Chains A and B, each alone.
Chain A
Amino acid sequence: MSEALIYDAVRTPRGKGKADGSLYEVKPITLVATVLEALRTRTNLDTSQVDDVVMGIVTPIGDQGACLPRIAALAANWHWNACGMQLNRFCASGLEAVNLAAQRVRSGWDDLIVAGGVESMSRVPMGSDGGAWAMDPQTSFQTAFVPQGIGADLIATLDGVSRAELDAYALASQRRAAAARDCGCFDKSVVAVRDANGLVILARDEFIKAHTTLEALAGLKPSFEQAGQMGFDAIAIGRYPQVERIRHVHTAGNSSGIVDGAAAVLVGSERKGRELGLTPRARIVATALVGTDPTIMLTGPVPAARKALARAGLAIEQIDLFEVNEAFASVPMRFMKELGVAHDKVNVNGGAIALGHPLGATGAMLINTLLDELEMRAKRYGLVTLCVGGGMGIATIIERI
């Protein structure tokens, strides 16, 4: 059995996920080609040795349809030996790709896999792929479908977390992300997106609101109040009848941003790395998947982290840094409270509230960010976890080597 090693990781900066975002003009295939090209040049990669390019894409239709990773690899002039596959595990997709790559390499049946994700939310909007959960009435009735924001508000209500506390968390995310970007902490891995002429379209994350204030955050309207009043609150409370009323405390300011971006992580066996002259940066220690109540939806991180720790034979105190996806502020806040982890170990360079959550790519971006910070601080163990649509949870533990 082989270890699964991370040899390198790159990501594009995240562009605002609307028509006035910098990456709106960039086709998803180009975003993928960008990260593939960067990976190739940085590691001097012989692409004929790549078994597969596995990418998370949560809305795989139109520009993002038809097995984009394979086509993008071809368009990036990779050797046709490199296969490609798109996968969808909602928000977990990018991390799922990394986990899948790790599992396949560790099994000994694959040697070198590029794992990552892409999402152009400005060009292919979230939810535009339809699907039974939200759009088939019978399924919606049967599974008590409730939009994710209601779940986030329900978590805050159950945990007794106030709007002010959520906004304070959001402010910290913005400040940390701005500081990390501006001091160049991201420069190691963020690769500029350029046009065909080589002109820079976007070089740095643009979604960060460095100058926001608590007052500005406090002035934002709750995003899910209306949906709640239309009946989704009643459905959620049907499963949590001890809740008198759901407090709608999440806004655009303390929820993840809609953005465009792509990421790629090079995962391979020890033997393959030696063969190609690559230096490993980390080892993938453990992966975990859990299923939880789909109505509250976003409570996966704590059980997923516990499961990964158990698999790894590690205690939570041994984890030096955490990346807990900031889908909504109440998610990392619950994580920290339940597992007794301090904020100075969690999302230390900000999170999706400030940087944005390009659905299919985020998980891989978090691995990337975590790895860079472990190296910067010369720390050992890191854990990435995301809450996932449909009530799933996912976690990965890596060890810097």
Chain B
Amino acid sequence: MGTLRYEIDAAAQVVTLTFDDPAAPVNTMSEAWLADLTACLDRLEAESSTTKGVILASAKESFFAGADLKGVLQRWPAGRENWFRRVEDIKRQLRRLERLGRPVVACIAGSALGGGFEVALAAHHRVVIDNRRVQLGCPEVTLGLIPAAGGVTKMVRLLGLQVAMPYIVEGRILSPAQAKSAGLVDELVPQTPDAPAALRAAALAWIGTHPSAIQAWDTRGYKIPGGGPGEPKNAQLLMAAPALLRAKTRGLYPAAEAAFACMVEGAQVDFDTALRLESRALATVADGPVARNLIHLFFDRAAVRAGVSRPRGAPKWKAGKVGVLGAGMMGAGIAYAAARRGVACMLKDVSLERAQAGKAYAATRTGERVAADKMSAQEQTELLALITPAASAAQLRDCDLIIEAVFENRELKAQVTREAEPMLAAGGIFATNTSTLPITGLAKAAAAPERFVGLHFFSPADKMELVEIITGETTSAETLARAYDFVLQIGKTPIVVRDSRGFFTSRTFATYIAEGAQMLKEGIPAAVIEHAGVAAGMPVGPLAVTDEISQATIVAIMEQTVADLAAQGKPDGRSEGERFIEVLCKQHRRLGRVHGGGYYDYPDGAPKSLWPGLQQFEKPGIEWQLAALSERLLMRQALEALRCMSEGVIQTAHDVNVGSIYGIGFPAWTGGAYQYIAGMGLNRFLARCKELAAAHGDRFAPPRLPVDWSPGRVA
């Protein structure tokens, strides 16, 4: 029995099963574990006359992690029947445990997520250390799976249909205190050095007072709290919830819908039948590509955060004090993000007033958190104390990192760089938050260009997880490593991109905007274009998002680019779609949301509506197919991502997937822009590009790649 230990406390007549997988840092529902658990149950059943109770515990930092996701990915597609049989086998054993006729207590000292929490749900009583960092719950839906090891059925029976919904369908995670109020765990012990002993003591005490424990759902006449689906009070929920869910998932994330369906269907039948319905629902979604893609994304993000693109060997670095130049929207957000992770920040602008206005952003956001009971007033005071508004560069002395977040203007950026860089502490690095101006050029204003790097945050900077690190020609490996470490230090996720026009995110996203404009020029109704974007899984249609950035800004960037290229003797390479945005801007005076309207009108106090003037571009009788338009929008972006990869602008598939999803809203169901390609197969993708190029133009022409090309190879 390698994965767990069977220990008998002869005095108490209690058996402790300690999960301790020797082959991994966490316990998972591996084949070996299932075999060991089965053997334990055989023994428990045989020795039940001399056993008063069972304790479940873990020797790892976490209690139990759940499904072996790596294995799932390796074996994908494992086949529906395999999934069904496997999860039924697991539940058969868990069911034996809870029907032992002896009290079973789970002593939870660390996180129990997914299958891990479902192991805990097999206990009659759950005791947890009240440690805020312990995570409990069933987030399977976020990975395209469902909590089919009893999570769906048991949460419904413990909490009722309405209350259980967010924990199953959204995969909401809880802290121990939250789980106790929700009724998912039964007892807390305070977080002290004696906590593990206290856990055990609590378990033994409970076993002593509950000699013949059975699960609530096994008691005669047990009723689901709030009633089943037939209960009139639940009728509203049942009718409305599918619409609410479908509005969120757009039909692109089958797991949430399958989880809800199986919650309801399971509530119509008895407990053991409900368990079987879970298994069937899991078999359907687990074998689908979306589950594969979401699990793949999970590992991509982990790889990026583990430093897959961080230079090897560079020592770990931490910023002590950070300076932010420019207290506008981005600067204010960056300062707040840093302060949230305990990093002291000097927020500088041209006047103290403007710097204070920037700090006010953090005051407002923390004020909201205090009002929502997510933060104490004391914590707010401490956080705000970390942000110091400044008006002079001298106040930036001894910053380890200075981030320049002023207007996208070369002269201005050069000026503030020259002024602030000398203030850096020894070994400090200088970063620019530019979203479009090539880093190498900006680095020319720096005295130490090897310490100059791009740190491209996304708006709103405190909420968006992604930071795009851009290395200029002169940026050293050490600087890159420090930038990487800083991004992780403030709780964000870095991707690494080589300096080039538009870097990775802006360049890729620009194609979404241009393709939307292109479709409008072709005469497709604007509402259809917007729905095509959303139907593909993009958070917003291409026209609406263009308005947000503003046509004026886009045109200014385009003009700068054209000028730069002309200076290098290169032609204006703009697409038809991009030129159309200029026409809209200059000819039709539609400059964007903050400039009085773009593709949409923004009347006061009413929702935005498409500018009626767009109707002049519609071709009456034009035929369109929503699915084809959605495909174009995704293919165009994926193709641009592939071009970036083939040019060496971005190296790894992990960076591409994480960057596209977290930076520019590429739909998570695809697993990211590269997974979208890999999922269909590179050759198929290239062939499809050729078809689209023949039908819609050269912008779809795929790059020439060597026959054995793979990510990381420059073509």
CB of B264 within 8 A of chain A? yes
Most chain A CB within 10 A, of B243, B244, B250, is at B243
Q: A235, B244: Cβ atoms under 8 Å?
A: no
Residue among B230, B240, B260, B535 with the highest chain A CB neighbour number at 10 A: B240
Verify B241–A137 contact, CB threshold 8 A: yes
Judge whether B460 is part of the interface by a CB distance below 8 angstroms: no
**Known contacts A130-B230, A237-B531, A238-B535, A137 near B261 by CB under 8 Å:** yes
User: Given A141-B251, A241-B527, A244-B527, A135–B239 Cβ distance below 8 Å?
Assistant: yes
CA distance A130 to B264 in the complex (A): 13
- Residues of B within 8 Å of A141, CB to CB, are 242, 245-246, 251, 257, 261
Contacting residues, chain A, for B248 (C-beta < 8 A):
231
Chain A residues with CB under 8 Å of B265's CB are 136-138
Q: How many whole Å from A279's CB to the nearest CB in chain B?
A: 49
Known A-B contacts A135-B229, A141-B261, A242-B525; A232 and B243 likewise in contact (beta carbons under 8 Å): yes
Q: A140 to B242, alpha carbons, bound, how many Å?
A: 7
Q: How far is the CA of A237 from the CA of B251 in the complex (A)?
A: 13
Decide: A137 near B242, CB < 8 A? Known: A241-B527, A244-B609, A245-B609. Answer: yes
Cβ of A134 under 8 Å from chain B: yes
Alpha-carbon distance between A146 and B246 when the two chains are bound, in angstroms: 11
Complex-state Cα separation, A235 to B248, whole angstroms: 11
Q: Does A145 contact B (CB under 8 A)?
A: yes
Complex interface residues of chain B between 500 and 528 (CB less than 8 A to chain A): 525-528
List residues 119-175 of chain A with CB under 8 A from any CB of chain B. Answer: 127-128, 130, 134-138, 140-141, 145-147
Chain B residues near A128 (CB, 8 Å)?
232
Shortest distance in angstroms between A165's beta carbon and chain B's nearest beta carbon?
Answer: 20
Q: Indicate whether A243 sits within 8 Å of B239 (C-beta atoms), given known contacts A231-B246, A234-B246, A235-B246.
A: no
Chain B contacts for A238, CB-based, 8 A: 250-251, 531, 535
Asked if A227 is at the interface (CB within 8 A of a chain B CB), the reply is yes
A157 smallest CB distance to B (angstroms): 11
- Least CB distance, B179 to chain A, in whole angstroms: 26
Contact B527 A137, beta carbon cutoff 8 Å? no
A216 at the interface (CB under 8 A from B): no
Bound complex: CA A128 to CA B239 (Å): 12
CA distance A9 to B505 in the complex (A): 72
Number of cross-chain contacts by CB at 8 Å: 82
* B313 at interface by CB-CB < 8 Å: no
B535 CB contacts on chain A under 8 angstroms: 238, 241
**Given B244, B257, B626, which contacts A231 in the complex, CB threshold below 8 Å?**
B244
A200 on the B face (CB < 8 A): no
Instruction: Given A135-B229, A137-B242, A137-B257, answer yes or no on A241-B247 (Cβ-Cβ < 8 Å).
Output: no
Distance (whole angstroms) from the CB of A169 to the closest CB of chain B: 26
Which of A10-63 touch B at CB < 8 Å? none
B8 interface residue (CB < 8 Å to A): no
Indicate if B238 sits at the interface (CB-CB under 8 A).
Answer: yes
Whether a CB of chain B sits under 8 angstroms from the CB of A230 is yes
- CB-based contact B243/A242 at 8 Å: no
Closest beta carbon of chain A to B541's beta carbon, Å? 10
B224 within 8 A of A: no
Partner of A241, one of B245, B246, B261, B531: B531
- How big is chain B's contact interface, by range? 35 or more
Closest beta carbon of chain A to B554's beta carbon, Å: 23
Interface presence of B174 (CB below 8 A): no
Say yes or no: B528 contacts A242, CB within 8 Å: yes
A235 and B243 contact, Cβ closer than 8 Å, known pairs A138-B265, A245-B609: yes
B352 within 8 A of A: no
Instruction: State in angstroms the CA–CA spacing of A243 and B531 once bound together.
Output: 9
A237–B229 alpha-carbon span in the complex (Å): 28
Which residues of chain B from 646 to 674 have a CB within 8 Å of any chain A CB?
none
Name the interface residues of B248-262: CB closer than 8 Å to any CB of A.
248, 250-251, 257-258, 260-261
The answer for the CA separation of A141 and B256 in the assembled complex, in Å, is 11
Q: Chain B contacts of A241 at CB under 8 A?
A: 527-528, 531-532, 535, 626
Q: How far is the CA of A243 from the CA of B235 in the complex (A)?
A: 30
Query: Are the C-beta atoms of A242 and B527 separated by less than 8 Å?
Result: yes
* Alpha-carbon distance A43/B243, docked complex (angstroms): 51
| Chain B residues within an 8 Å CB radius of A136 | 261, 264-265
* Partner of A137 from B235, B238, B525, B532 at Cβ < 8 Å: B238
Residue of A nearest to B524 (CB): A242
B257 touches A234 (CB 8 A): no
What residues on A are CB-neighbors of B243 within 8 Å? 140, 145-146, 227, 230-232, 234-235
What CA separation (Å) do A227 and B243 show in the bound complex? 9
- Judge if B607 is at the interface, Cβ distance under 8 Å: yes
Q: Is B610 an interface residue (CB 8 A)?
A: yes
**What mask results when residues 216 to 245 of chain A are scored 1 for a CB within 8 Å of chain B, else 0?**
000000000001001110110110011111
Q: Smallest Cβ distance from B76 to chain A, in angstroms?
A: 24
Asked if A234 contacts B264 (CB within 8 A), the reply is no
Least CB separation from A128: chain B residue: B232
A130 partner residues in chain B, CB cutoff 8 A: 230, 235
**Which chain A residues lie closer than 8 Å to B232 at the CB level?**
128
Please tell me if the beta carbons of B610 and A231 are within 8 angstroms of each other in the complex. Answer: no
Near A by CB (< 8 A), chain B positions 209-252 give 229-230, 232, 235, 238-248, 250-251
**Is there an interface contact between B527 and A243, defined as CB atoms closer than 8 Å?**
yes
- The CA-CA distance from A60 to B258 in the complex, in Å, is 30
CB distance from A357 to the nearest CB of B (A): 20
B531 — which chain A residues lie within 8 A by C-beta?
A: 237-238, 241
Least CB distance, B229 to chain A, in whole angstroms: 7
How near does chain B come to A358, taking the closest CB pair, in angstroms?
Answer: 22
Interfacial chain A residues near B257, Cβ < 8 Å: 137-138, 141
Q: A231-B242, A231-B244 are in contact. List 9 more A-B contacts (CB 8 A).
A: A135-B229, A137-B261, A137-B264, A140-B243, A141-B246, A141-B251, A231-B240, A231-B245, A241-B532
Report 20 cross-chain contacts, Cβ distance below 8 Å, ordered by A residue.
Answer: A128-B232, A135-B229, A136-B261, A138-B265, A140-B239, A141-B251, A141-B257, A141-B261, A145-B243, A230-B243, A230-B244, A230-B247, A231-B240, A231-B242, A231-B245, A232-B243, A241-B532, A241-B626, A244-B527, A244-B610
Closest A-B pairs by Cβ, 10 of them = A231-B243, A231-B247, A241-B531, A140-B242, A138-B261, A244-B527, A137-B261, A234-B247, A231-B244, A232-B243
Interface residue ranges, A against B (CB under 8 Å): 127-128, 130, 134-138, 140-141, 145-147, 227, 230-232, 234-235, 237-238, 241-245
Q: B residues bordering A, Cβ < 8 Å? A: 229-230, 232, 235, 238-248, 250-251, 257-258, 260-261, 264-265, 525-528, 530-532, 535, 607, 609-610, 626
